[in-house]
Structure formats: C-alpha cells, structure tokens
A = this chain, B = another copy of it.
Amino acid sequence: MSTSIDTLKEKGRRLRIHSLRATTEAGSGHPTSSLSAADLVSVIFFHEMRFDPADPKNPANDRFILSKGHAAPLLYAAWAEAGILKSEQLLTLRRLDSDLEGHPTPRLPWVDVATGSLGQGLSGGLGEALASRLNGITFDTYVLLGDGECAEGSVWEAAEIASYYKTDNLFAIVDVNGLGQSQHTMDRFDVGRFADKFRAFGWYALTVDGHNYVDIVEAFERCKREGGTQPRAIIAKTFKGHGVSFIENKDNWHGKAVPKADLDKALQELSQPLGSNDWKPNLPPKPATLPPAPSGPIRIEVNRKLGESAATREAYGDALVKLATADSRIIALDGDTKNSTFTEKLQKARPNQFLEMFIAEQNMVGVATGLAARGKIPFVATFAAFLTRAFDQIRMAGISRSNVKFCGSHCGVSIGEDGPSQMGLEDIAMFRAMAESVILYPSDAVATERLVALAVEHKGIVYIRTTRPKTPVIYDNNEQFEIGGSKVVRQSDSDRVAIVGAGITLHEALKAADALASEGIRVRVIDAYSVKPMDEATLLAAAAATDGRMVVVEDHYAGGGLGDAVLNVVIGRARVVKLAVREIPRSGPPEALIDKYGIGSKQIIAAVKSLL
C-alpha cells in the first residue's frame, strides 16, 4: 500500500474542507454531493491511481472522470491535495475569470471530457479504456458516478459494451448517497440492487461502505484479484453531506452552498487532523508515447469516372480506408449500420481500426469522446436520423472541444420507402446549433473523399452528411475542396437567378438549370458543400450577379438547415425562395418523395420563375 489509511482519512478530511470553503465562497455549487464521495476520491487519487502530477499529458497516467460533474469542487480539491492546484485557487470556483467552472470542462488540462450532463462519464471512460488497449499503453480508468445518474440509459449502454469488450482496465465507482436533486433516488440505499444490475450486465461488482477506508481499499484489491477480464464496479453506500451533521443526509441541500454564517460551524466538525498529510505520487511505470501522427495532411488518390453513379455513403467508406491506412489514429465506430454507412469497408481492410458499438448511439458518441481524449481521431457513423439519439452527448463533445467526426448516412426523404423514422431531416439543424462545428455535405463521390480527408485535418467536431441513393460523379478526381468553400457548377454572364443546393438537391438543381437553359433562362448553380462555415464571398457574388434572386433547396426540414445558413449570409442582399421539406413525409420511392415534398427540379424551376 502506497498510502496509509490514516493519511487517506486526512486527505478525505481536507477534501471536505476545500469543498465547503470553495462553494461557500462562490455562493453556489454542490458541497453535499462532494462530501458523500470525498472518501472514495481520497482512495482513488491517493492510493489507487498512478499519475504524474507534474505532467497531465503523460499518456501512461491513469485517468479519472467525474461523471457526477456537479461534484466539481471535490475534483478540484483532489488536484489541490495532489499539488496540481494551489489551495487558494480553489476559492476562484465559478468565477468568470477562473477555469474552475461549475462543472468540469477540458479548459483544465486534467479534464478529459466535460461532464455535468449526467450519465455520460462511463462512456467516456470506456473510450479511454479502449484507447489504452488500441494504443498499447497500459493505464486504468476510474469513473465516479452518482446513484441518481444511473437512471440514465446511457450508463447501461456503456456497461454492456464495456463487458462485451472485456475492458478490465475500467472501474466504475458509484456513490450511492440515496438523494437526487429533488427527492430520494429510485433505489435509495439499495447498493445490492446496483451491484446486481452491474453483474447482470457482465461486470465484477462489489458493495462497500463508502465512508470506511479499509472497506474501500480492500474492494479495489479484490477487484484486481478476482475481477478477471470483467470491468469492475464498486458500489458504495454513502451519505450526502457526510462529515457535517447539519447537512448530512438531509433533503433540500442539493446544489446549495453552506451560508457564510454557518461555514465555521461546519468546519468545526472537520477540525481534527486524522493522520499525516505526506503523500507521494504513484508515478506511471515508464515514459510512454502515443503512436506517431503523419507529419502533414494525408494525400489520397481519388479514382472516379465523371458521370458514373456512386453513393456518397459508399465513398465515405472508401475514403476512410485510405485515410486510416495512412494515419493509425483514425478509428471508425458504428452502431450496427456498417453495411449501410459502409464503414464495413474499414472493418474489412483494417479490423483494428474499427469498433462495433451496437445499437447504442449515446454510448458510441461518449466512447468517441474518450478515444479522442487519448489521441485517437474517431469517426462515428450511423443513419443521420439516429444521431439525434445522442444530441446531448454531441453537445457535450462540443463543450469538450473534442476531435470527433460524425457521419450521418440516409439523410432526407431521398432514402425512400423506409419512411420518416429512418429519414435524417433535422441533422443539419442539430450540428448548426453547436457553437463550434463544421458541416460538410458532399454531392458526389469525389467530393466525399476529399471532404473526409479535410475532416481529418480539421481539429474539432466535423459532421459529414451522406446520401443513400447513388448520384453521378460531377467533379474531376483532382478537384480541390476546402472547409468554408463552395463550387459554382453552372455559370454564365447572364445568370438571372442563383440556385444553391447540396447533396441530392444539387443534382435536382442541375436538372432544373438544364431545363431552364433550354428555355433561354440562365441560372447559376452553387454546390454549398460546406454548410458551416459557408462560402460567403461566392454567395454574395451570386446575389450581386443575379440582382438578389436566389433559390435554396435542401433535403431537410425547413428549420435550421442549409436554407437558414444561406439566409444568414445573404440577408439584406437577396430575396430567397427556400425549398425544404415542410411536413412529415411518407414511405415511397425516392424520386416520388423528392417531388411530393417540393425539393425536386420541377419545384426549383417554378421557384426560379417566381423570382423573374
């Protein structure tokens, strides 16, 4: 044992004091949720984990994720006790000029994934545990969960997939304090029931008294001794606010700081040292390095024939294979749709760079965030419609400024007969609503391959939207694309209207342009393949050239998609007819649906004429 029980107790006492002081100073925060887990965190940080306090980026450090992110004061206190922060810094909690935010974010180097939306930490931890194996760097990952958040299904998605992949380097520690925000939890103090659930999901699980240090330390040892290849869960019975009698296990103390007037009374109960405070870090065994990254952008060869039919979703798979071959950091994740998204191409070509995540999209995104935190470049794919399942996880990946790429296939009504539940019609709006995101929407196979390569180069969230039906190749193999770019695919000196499309609607726009040309009406056609950021200069030039006559057409609902992105650029400079899906679609053949819902060449022609 590296740290004595008495020292661990003393650390726990100090963690409590820090948590109380910081929240009282801030006037808000979650001291009681911090106090219930203080003893668990003491053992995890000061007995179990191996990490170098001077080197947060050491790839061999054990990892810790505070899934119950509202206990942030406790986490910051642990860093202070580990010598990573100064104790005075803790008193800047929740200030505008402090990185010690209300819930942890990766603005701080020791935070891998943002938490605070409950039930997401175990997925992030699973991603890190899988990264350990993939990168060949041995470390353990510890995730501290609250009991209330175990009601989130995403916890059980992570649990079952951790078991499937036998991640014996993943620990879930559940702080069962029995109280939620507004009332008792469903299972209250029934730690046995929590353990049964984890066991049913294939975990090695133990229950402990979460305020008994000997119990906690022994549980970790038993996990290592008896856990075999299973992930490990320690279910700890605790009391919210433990250590301070007037807040301990009391209702209506969730998310409330102890008032300044009562702080001394609280600290008085914690005034007696319980052991020595001399802790030495348990350093990782030896320097470890991540697999090397390519020195610059990867150049891929694209070999398509102009005019041939190819689905952009299939080109996505082709591009992944080429890129992942050149960059071992790339890894594809799929939710049992790999034969539709064509990520199976990568699975077949490079099985070690593919992870089947089954039908559990929330966990898939959380795992991707964890993988990205450990240096991987994860590409997450499923039907565009089903990415909505993980919007909260995508939102949190955004707050984490995570380097995760998303691909949504089967967008829009053009998927055809499967019907509205399978049609991605909200996906652009979802990704446009993020503060920092790139949205790429290729119209042909060449563009797809080039855009997937750009996604690898860009650091941050990228969304790639692919189409189910085949579309003709319209770009030369060496055509260059860029994030924030667009292509003018029809143009003349006498363009009377500009049509903006992307994906399948670009081809409808081209058909419309040809038909209009045969009537002597010249139009400009723009492929807005970079939906976010948009190519403002090209759109504004088109607006100027056409006296502000513009049509934008998209296979997406009218709210928040390509059309709205265009409006933001040309507002004040153009009149725009926006064609989009405006009702809940039916099943039917793709072409019939495109026509019925008003986004086909016929409706584009009518829109153009309405502007003349």
Contact = CB atoms under 8 A, between A and B. Distances in A.
A446 interface: no
A471 to B, nearest CB: 20
B396 A421 contact: yes
B433 A359 contact: no
7 contacts: A28-B417, A101-B419, A103-B420, A116-B418, A148-B359, A197-B200, A435-B557
Contacts of A592: 96
Nearest to A583: B435
Given A94-B417, A564-B567, A572-B576, 12 more contacts: A96-B588, A96-B593, A102-B417, A103-B422, A107-B586, A116-B421, A361-B392, A434-B557, A559-B560, A560-B560, A570-B571, A572-B574
Interface stretch (A135-143, A176-184, A289-297): A176-184
B576 A571 contact: yes
Nearest to A146: B359
B102 A419 contact: yes
A575 B572 contact: yes
A392 B398 contact: no
Interface stretch (A154-162, A304-312, A507-515): A154-162
A593 B358 CA distance: 40
Given A181-B339, A557-B433, A388 B395 contact: yes
A439 B338 CA distance: 36
B589 A96 contact: yes
Given A102-B417, A339-B182, A392 B399 contact: no
A86 interface: no
A312 to B, nearest CB: 19
Interface string A108-138: 0000001111110000000000000000000
A610 to B, nearest CB: 12
A117 B410 CA distance: 13
A434 B593 contact: no
Nearest to A572: B575
A183 B336 contact: yes
Contacts of A180: 336, 358-359
A456 B137 CA distance: 57
Given A388-B395, A435-B583, A567-B564, A358 B574 contact: no
